[in-house]
Amino acid sequence: MNDDRTPADSKLTSSKRRWAAEGKFLTGRVSRAEAERLPPGQHLVRNWPVLDLGQQPVISTDSWRLDVRGLVETPLTLNWAAFQAIEQSTKVSDIHCVTTWSRYDNNWKGVSTRNLLDLAMPKPEAAYVMLTSYDGYTTNLPLADFAAEDAILATSWEGLPLTSDHGGPMRLVVPHLYFWKSAKWLRQIELMPADTAGFWERNGYHMYGDPWREQRYSDD
Residue-wise pLDDT tens digits, 36-76: 899 999 999 999 988 766 678 999 999 999 999 999 999 99
Domain map of the chain by residue range? 40-49+63-213
> What's the pLDDT score for residue 50?
84
What lies within 8 Å, CB to CB, of 109 at 6+ separation is 88, 89, 90, 91, 152, 154, 155, 156, 159
What lies within 8 Å, CB to CB, of 200 at 6+ separation is 16, 139, 180
Residue 173 CA to its chain's centroid (Å): 6
Between residues 143 and 19, the one the model is more confident about: 143
Residue 111 near residue 120, CB atoms below 8 Å: no
What lies within 8 Å, CB to CB, of 150 at 6+ separation is 91, 93, 175, 176
Look at residue 198 and give its three-state secondary structure. Answer: coil
What is the per-residue pLDDT across 109-123, written as a single tens digit (0 to 9) for each? 999 999 999 999 999
User: Is residue 26 scored above 90 in pLDDT?
Assistant: no
Nearest CA to 170 out of 75, 84, 76 is that of 84
Fold for domain 40-49+63-213?
Sulfite Oxidase; Chain A, domain 2 (3.90.420)
- Name the phi and psi angles at 112, rounded to 5: -60, 140
Preceding amide of 169 cis, omega within 30: yes
pTM: 0.84
Element holding 85 (H helix, E strand): helix 80-85
